């Protein structure tokens, strides 16, 4: 797949997001689209801004590690429903803060300030 314009780029992002929400069984097309999006972003000089919220940081980690919500919940060893709560901005407890620090490498001071 080749992304040549801003319109193609936005369409690809929408499709990729839809695939992530559905958790497809055939990952090959999704991975090809991910690579095309990444290649386009590099040619355009896109830089991901550093997130200012914990939700934003988790979404960035999901993007960087190519994880969907189910995989991130498994990595953190929490139920998917708890992760959904966190991604909706609900508070986290100390145990989850420790897991975010140890398993994702999110700095402790960021977790404390952003939570």
22 band by pLDDT with thresholds 50, 70 and 90: confident
The Cα 114–Cα 85 span in angstroms is 15
84-115 tens-digit pLDDT: 999 999 989 999 999 999 999 999 999 999 87
Helix (H) or strand (E) holding 55: helix 54-65
Could you tell me how far CA 114 lies from the centroid of its own chain? 17
- CATH number of the domain located at residue range(s) 54-114 in this protein: 1.10.260
Q: Where are the domains of the chain?
A: 6-44, 54-114
Q: In this predicted structure, what is the pLDDT of residue 81?
A: 94
pLDDT tens track for 32-91: 888 899 889 888 888 767 788 999 999 989 988 889 999 999 999 999 999 999 999 998
**Alpha carbon distance, N-terminus to C-terminus of the chain:** 39
Whole-prediction pTM = 0.59
Cα–Cα distance for residue pair 4/76, rounded to 1 Å: 37
């Amino acid at each position: 797949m080749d992304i040549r314009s801003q319109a193609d780029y936005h369409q690809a992002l929408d499709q990729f997001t839809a695939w992530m929400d559905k958790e497809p069984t055939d990952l090959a097309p999704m991975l090809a689209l991910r690579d095309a999006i990444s290649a386009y972003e590099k040619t355009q000089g896109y830089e991901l801004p550093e997130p200012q919220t914990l939700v934003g940081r988790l979404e960035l980690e999901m993007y960087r590690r190519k994880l969907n919500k189910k995989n991130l919940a498994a990595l953190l060893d929490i139920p998917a429903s708890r992760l959904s709560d966190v991604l909706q901005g609900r508070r986290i407890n100390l145990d989850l803060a420790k897991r975010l620090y140890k398993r994702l490498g999110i700095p402790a001071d960021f977790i404390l300030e952003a939570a």
